[in-house]
Amino acid sequence: MKYSIITAAIVSTLVWSTAGTTRLAAQTPAPARVPRTADGHPDLSGVWWRGADVGGRTPSGGSVTAPAGGRGATPPPTFASLYQPSAMAKAKTLSDKDDPALGCVNTAFGTLNVSLFDVGAVGQIVQTPKFVVMLTETYNSFQIIPTDGRPHRDSVPPSNRGDAIGRWEGDTLVVDKTNFTDTSWISAEGRVSFHSDALHIVERYRRVDANTLEIEATLEDPKVLTKPWVVPKQTLVLAPFDQIMELACSNETQSLVEGAAKQNSAKN
């Protein structure tokens, strides 16, 4: 009889526990599904950021420009940390005043390791059946990425942002960029990061859910790097607005150039 009573108690407890778990599961909203276009691909359209603009704080209280890994962690490699000896020597001859971005030149990649941002922290994606268009809030930058299978163009001159083509691998958009100039830097704000015209960038965009976009990238430059730079995975969230602003670069940046030059002279 004791065995029956104990067994009944255990069974009763399991039933109540299972029921409670079921109720909690029912109360927890499931992540919103990834929106899709008419052709079945994930729709990457939207305004994306890290939860705040430059100078702001993310919902978790972190800084938009804080390095990955957290306090005390070993910082991940940067593009410039992989320079060949000759490139490292050249980098030591450059400083803030040499930053092309001070002259309104777009970066080849992005200061926050997100090419969609360029030198800012907000960007917009517009997706159509044949193209994915990436718009950057700063410097009026944009990139039109065909996704209909066409090859790279061989009839256009090199550019700061390169020539891009895209393809879908399942639910991931793979973007391949070549044909860069060698007059821009990988990032800005005085971070010496020059590259050569052999720069090749491959990015992978995956919309995890309705509000989250993950981006991975690998940069190759055999003329200046010892090995490819694998960029730490970037996680963006959908912004609470659906249009970016115009933050144009103008001749006013010349004062920044002069200020940087004076500051550099004072150090020498």
What is the pLDDT, as a whole number, of residue 55? Answer: 74
What is the pLDDT, as a whole number, of residue 4? Answer: 44
CB half-sphere exposure, 159, CA atoms < 13 A: 16
DSSP per-residue codes, 176-206? EEE-B-SSSBSS-TT---B--TT-EEEEEEE
Give the span between the Cα atoms of 183 and 192, in whole angstroms: 12
What is the pLDDT, as a whole number, of residue 49? Answer: 97
What is the pLDDT, as a whole number, of residue 53? Answer: 84
What is the pLDDT, as a whole number, of residue 69? Answer: 45
- Per-residue model confidence as pLDDT tens digits over 58-106: 777 777 765 544 455 678 899 999 999 999 999 999 999 999 999 999 9
Of the chain, the percentage scoring pLDDT greater than 90 comes to 68
Bridge-based pairing state of the strands 122-127 and 46-49:
antiparallel
What is the pLDDT, as a whole number, of residue 247? Answer: 85
What is the pLDDT, as a whole number, of residue 248? Answer: 83
Give the span between the Cα atoms of 152 and 29, in whole angstroms: 44
**Rounded mean pLDDT of 124-147?**
95
pTM: 0.81
Residue 59 corresponds to which amino acid? P
Of the chain, the percentage scoring pLDDT greater than 70 comes to 78
- 110 has a pLDDT exceeding 70: yes
What is the pLDDT, as a whole number, of residue 12? Answer: 42
**Rounded mean pLDDT of 215-222?**
98
**Rounded mean pLDDT of 259-265?**
53
3-class DSSP state for residue 226?
A: coil
- 24 has a pLDDT exceeding 80: no
